[in-house]
Structure formats: C-alpha cells, structure tokens
Structure 1
Amino acid sequence: MPHPYRTLTSPHNDTLKHLARLVQFARDRRKDDVIVLEGIHLLEAALEQGVVPAQCFINEAALGRSEVSALLARLPQTLSPLVVPEALLGKLTSLSSAPELIAVCPRPHPPRRSGSCLLLEDIQDPGNMGTILRSAAASGVMEVFLSKGCADVFSPKVLRAGMGAHFVLNLHEAADLADVLAGFAGRKLVTHLEGSQSLYAQDLRGDVAFVFGNEGAGVSPALLQQADCRVRIPMPGHAESLNVAMAATICLFERVRQLEVSLG
C-alpha cells in the first residue's frame, strides 16, 4: 500500500521549525539523539545498513521521480512522510537548493569492538573528517573513536563528505582517547613530523590503533606519550606537512597494502 501523505505548507509550522533547528544546530540533534540526512543518496546508504528514519520530509516537486518513489517504497508502512513545497524545503536545508527529501534518523550508539581502530583528536574541518571516514570505511578499519573536541561527526557537511561511510563504521563520539589507548592490545601509532621511524618500516598486519590530531596543534602530548611509535610519512619533495585526511589515508592504505602482500 502507498504511504499516506500529509502536506505542510506554513513556515510557522512547529514541526518544520523544529526540523530547521535540527539541520542547523548540533546541540539540538544531540538533545533529540538524532541525525539529519539530506538527499536520497544518504538515506539509501542508511537504509542499506538497517537504519530506519523516524521522520521523512519529501520535496513536493520530487514526488513523481522514480528514484524517490522507489526509496519511499522501502520505508516502513508505519512512517507517514510529510510533503513540503520545494521553496519552503529550500529554506530549511543546509544545501544550496532543496534536496529530494530530508530524513530524521536515530543517532547510532554502536558497542565498542576489538580490532584495528582510528582515534581522532579534535579534528575540526568537516571535509577532513568526512574524507577520513571514507578512507577508514574503504580500508576496512571500522572502529573510529572521536574526542569531545571533534567537530560534530553527524553534521550535514561531514555527512556529505563521508558519502555514506557513517553507516558502515562504528563511530564512538566523545570518547576518552587515553582510555581507549590504555585498553588497546595492539600497536599504537601516531604520525609525527619528527617521528623517528618511517611508516613504511612498520609491520601493520596485526591490530593497529592509528592516532591523528588537530589540524593545527597535532596530537596532544598526553596521547603522544601513550603511543608505541611516532612515525613519519617520508616526503622527499618540498611540502612541510600533509593534510591530516591525506596522512590518515596513506597510513590506512599502507596497512591494506601489507595485508594484500601477506596474502600473496
């Protein structure tokens, strides 16, 4: 059976005003324990991993599109999508124009699991954050711990940059990174411009915790002290340093390379 639709046309509607706050403010998303997905591609990625939206706001102009109809057919029958005129939805979104839909979903709280992991300390740039998450997902490192000082990992900008990576990773927000490292049984590596050992001299085939710090300040002294090894990424050219997202990607895929070689 098709979903019943209800149309919201007033910008003063309380439901739409609340949606606007959820899109704009991390504190409101955290208070409601939700995330906001803008566009069909993010919702598709979420549905693939079993995430069920609590609310879905449909762009009235997109109702007849086949990809939107197919996506709506995958929603539970208990969910009644709300239709919003395109001009009004365009005022609510963080995008430059109105998306096909906006979905509000429960914020994930995955259990902590063993294995290789990524520790992110006070990463602030949404683009960096999203790129790091994409690289982690692609490399098979599924446990990601984020300090309290990180940008909101479920902000609209990070979600867009992550391209669906959020829904295959286990993201642990506001984590005590020192505690995570203290309880980690594998190798603990941090990249450092003055690292004494090359990344490419490290054996990364077992469980590894990779630690990356703030774009300007780097990894804090407290976490540096907990690392087994401070490694450098060789740079024979003229750059002084690498962007943190690039450094994380190089480290993650050096691990992939070593695993591939060990398998023959």
Structure 2
Amino acid sequence: MKSVTSRDNPFYKELKSLAASSQARRKAGRTLLDGVHLCQSWLALRGAPAHCVVSEGALRNPEVAEIVARCESLHAHVTGLPDALFGVLSQVEHGVNLLFLVETPAPRQPQSMTVSSVLLDGVQDPGNVGSILRSAGAAGITQVFCSAGTAFCWSPKVLRAAMGAHFVLEIFENVELGALIDRSGIAVLAMSGHARRKLYEVDLRAPVAWLLGHEGQGVADDLMGRATHQVVIPHAGQVESLNVAAAAAVCFFEQLRQRGA
C-alpha cells in the first residue's frame, strides 16, 4: 500500500476532480465507487478495481481491511490517505472511507434491441435513474438506453441509488432513442398518465422496451408517436401520478409476474 499525505499530489487532485465533477468523470471515462457495498459488488462481479483508496482510520474496520486485502491479492493499486484528506472525496455522510476508482464501462452500441430493455428519455434526477437501474436489474432486465438529457449513470449519486445494479446491466448513454426504436423489432411501451390502456391489459411475456420520460414533461412527443402502446398504471386516490422510478418498478415486476405465471 502506498501513502499520500499531500493535497498537491497529482493522484489526489485527480480524485478530487472525479469526486466533484460529472464533466471530469465523463472526460476521463472513470468514476468513484463509495462505500463497502459498492466495492464488494464490484469485486464480486467485475474483479479488481483500477485503484483502491482507503483512509488510515478505515483500516481498523474488518470489512474494509478484508476488501483491501482482496485488492492487494488481485495486484490492484492501493493508496492510503489521512482521514482529513479522504473526507474531501466522499459524499457519504458517516461513511467508512473506502473508494474504488474504476473505468466506466463503454459497451459497443448495439444496432437494435432484442431483449427486454429500458429507454430513459431525459430522466434527470440521479436518485430516480439509480432506482430505475436497481429495479431493472432485480427484474431481470439486462439493457438500459439513455438519451443525452438523462442523468449520467456513473455519477456517485446514481451509483449509490442503484446499489450495484450497474454491474449486472449493459448501460448505453447518449443514445438516439428514436433511431434505436426504428431499428428494433420489439414492442415499445410508453408510460403516460393520459393513456387509456392499462398496464395490466398488455401481454408482457415477450420482450418489450419500457419507455420512461422526464419527471415533469414525460416522454417526448416524437418518441411517444413511435411507441407500440401508451399505457397507464391505474391507481386509487387523488394523487395525479406515480414517481417515474416507482412507476418503472411496477412495470418491471408486472412483466416478471406475467412471465412467471
């Protein structure tokens, strides 16, 4: 394990930039995983990180010490920081002071969709995006396609909300969703509070693409026109609609229920 004690260290400056800036993360093709759960999930599903960063105080935590030992056994770079320096990097309050620096996966853009997928059209809240990814992974969906206006999937907030779902999904960003829909041969279901067809009336046993839109504006008109079906989740009470992440979870697990039946 190497030790960094200076704020002027180039590697520490790189970490600060990645922790603070989505633009820096996109440009570098790298991001930070914060906390025991995400780091354990990465080790289990993806292997060694590019770099493991830990505070001196965190090494007294048995879970952290085990993760660090695992990284060293995999010949990953490990760097220790004083607690004060580490505190600037983490966005987790009362966290355990453990970070992985990882390369952001950049899967090759497929020509079409052939399996059940999620299309995110301008979903801007990182918490919503992360929750949608988590539900998708839990429901057995394997691919997520994001328009240019969607929150960056590899930001720390999205990563924390998804709780490791990134590592079992193929995530494609900056996708022209209209062209993708036109090239694909599976049904596209657009969620809309104004639709007449209810979710539970649609046969979901075959692969479908779930089209989910902006929190306030919904799915863009040009994409809505390409949808095979516009569907609504019926609900009781006077609440106008569901949060997009909650609606996504209902849709994904209704599909899982139908397939199981």
Q: TM-score range by the shorter chain?
A: over 0.9
Distance 1:176 1:216 in 2: 21
Cα deviation, residue 219, structure 1: 0.2
Pick aligned residue for 1:99 from 79, 82, 96: 96
AA aligned opposite 1:38 = D
Give the stretch that moved more between structures: 57-66 or 18-27. Answer: 57-66
SS at match of 1:210: strand
Task: Calculate percent identity across the aligned residue pairs.
Answer: 39
Pick aligned residue for 1:68 from 51, 64, 76: 64
Matched with 2:20 is 24
Report the number of matched residues: 257
SS at match of 2:225: helix
Contact 1:89 1:98 survives alignment (8 Å): no
| Alignment of 1:48 onto 2:48 | no
Cα deviation, residue 136, structure 1: 0.2
Pick aligned residue for 1:87 from 59, 62, 84: 84
Written as runs of structure 1 = structure 2, the 5 A alignment for 1:130-209 is 130-209=130-209
AA aligned opposite 2:21 = F
Distance 1:157 1:101 in 2: 16
AA aligned opposite 2:26 = R
**Deviations 1:168-212 (Å, cap 9, x if unpaired)?**
111111111112211221111101111121110000000100000
SS at match of 2:53: strand
SS at match of 2:224: helix
**Deviations 1:55-101 (Å, cap 9, x if unpaired)?**
22111001133212221232254323110011210122222245331
**Deviations 1:109-141 (Å, cap 9, x if unpaired)?**
234463010000111111111111111011001
AA aligned opposite 1:157 = K
SS at match of 2:122: coil
AA aligned opposite 2:86 = L
Pick aligned residue for 2:53 from 46, 54, 57: 57
TM-score, normalised by the number of residues in structure 1:
0.93
Give the stretch that moved more between structures: 249-258 or 44-53. Answer: 44-53
Give the stretch that moved more between structures: 199-208 or 58-67. Answer: 58-67
Contact 2:107 2:171 survives alignment (8 Å): yes
Structure 2: stretches of 5+ with no match in the other structure:
none
Distance 1:152 1:236 in 2: 34
**Deviations 1:134-171 (Å, cap 9, x if unpaired)?**
11011001110011111111111111111111111111
Distance 1:59 1:230 in 2: 50
Give the stretch that moved more between structures: 99-108 or 210-219. Answer: 99-108
Contact 1:24 1:94 survives alignment (8 Å): no
Distance 1:87 1:232, change over 3 A: same
SS at match of 1:203: coil
Cα deviation, residue 51, structure 1: 4.2
**Deviations 1:207-244 (Å, cap 9, x if unpaired)?**
10000000011000010010011111112321111100
AA aligned opposite 2:137 = A
Distance 1:100 1:68 in 2: 9
Distance 1:93 1:236 in 2: 41
Distance 1:49 1:202 in 2: 34
Distance 2:146 2:94 in 1: 31
AA aligned opposite 1:156 = P
Distance 1:49 1:172 in 2: 19
Contact 2:114 2:186 survives alignment (8 Å): no
Matched with 2:223 is 223
TM-score, normalised by the number of residues in structure 2:
0.94
Contact 2:90 2:97 survives alignment (8 Å): no
Matched with 2:243 is 243
